[in-house]
Structure formats: C-alpha cells, structure tokens
Homo-oligomer: A and B are copies of this chain.
Amino acid sequence: MFKATSELRVRYVETDQMGYSHHSNYIIYYEYGRVEALRSLGMSYKELEGSGVMMPVIDSGSKYLKPALYDDLIKIEVIVPSLPTVRMRFEYKLYVNDVLINEGHTTLAFVDIKTGRPMRPPNSMLHLLKPFYE
C-alpha cells in the first residue's frame, strides 16, 4: 500500500471562537496531504492538470475526534488502500503529538479536462503506484 506523511501547522485564520481549528479546515488539510503524498511519489498534481487530467473530489467523510489548536503541528498520514481504477480513494489520519485527532477519506475521479468525461488514471501514475501493491 502506498502511504506518505507530511506536516502542517494550524494557522490563526483557521481558528474559530471556540478556540479550535474550524472543522471545515480538515478537508483542506486532506488536500494538502494528498498533494504532498503525490509529490513524494514523484507526481505533481499541477503537472497532472497540465497534461489534461483533473481529479474532482466526489465524496468525503470525516470524524473529528479531538480539536486541533492554533499553532499545533499536525502530522498527516495519507493511505491509498488500493490501485486506482476510474476512482481513487485516499484515507487520512491526522495526529498532534502522536495523538489521533481526526480521520477521514475522500474519493476522487479522473476526468478528461477537454471532454469532461471520466477516464482511467494516467499510465505514469499507475507505473509509480504499482510497486506498492505487489
């Protein structure tokens, strides 16, 4: 399975008047983790779009277990549980000081930017991912 880890800090703008990182930020943290996971694999999401493939999110889910606070350093673990087909599932576990604070998932589709139609993942991506599932 492909797995990657990245880190980010809770920004002041992300806090709300409860003193927590507002729950809407987690799906942005997932996006950050996902992009960095692809980068660590040797793929740039920017280049992917440049090559005519976009990956819209088609579903998501989150469990908010504990709050993240201002300036907390969040460790984001991203897991791709299986080789993508026309869809790609990402799972996320977020930790602050080794305590699990949030878990979630997103499913993304592969879409041809020109036609707007679903497509299979680019071979370049499959090529990089395959070794993790053998």
A52-75 vs B, Cβ < 8 Å mask (1 yes, 0 no): 001011111111100100110000
Q: Is the CB of A56 within 8 A of B24?
A: no
Q: Is the CB of B63 within 8 A of A62?
A: no
- Using a CB–CB cutoff of 8 Å, the interface residues on chain A facing chain B are 11-13, 15-20, 22-24, 27-28, 31-32, 35, 44-46, 49, 54, 56-64, 67, 70-71
Chain B residues lying within 8 Å of A63, measured Cβ to Cβ, are: 58-59
Q: Is the CB of B45 within 8 A of A12?
A: yes
Known interface pairs A70-B17, A71-B46. Does A61 touch B60 (Cβ–Cβ under 8 Å)? Answer: yes
Q: Is the CB of B19 within 8 A of A12?
A: no
**What is the chain B residue whose CB lies nearest that of A47?**
B71
Chain B residues lying within 8 Å of A57, measured Cβ to Cβ, are: 23, 64
Q: Is the CB of B22 within 8 A of A13?
A: yes
**Interchain Cβ contacts under 8 Å between A and B, 27 examples:** A11-B35, A12-B17, A12-B35, A12-B45, A13-B16, A13-B22, A13-B24, A13-B31, A15-B16, A17-B17, A17-B19, A17-B70, A20-B56, A23-B56, A24-B27, A24-B31, A27-B27, A46-B70, A46-B71, A49-B70, A59-B61, A59-B62, A60-B60, A60-B61, A60-B64, A61-B61, A61-B62
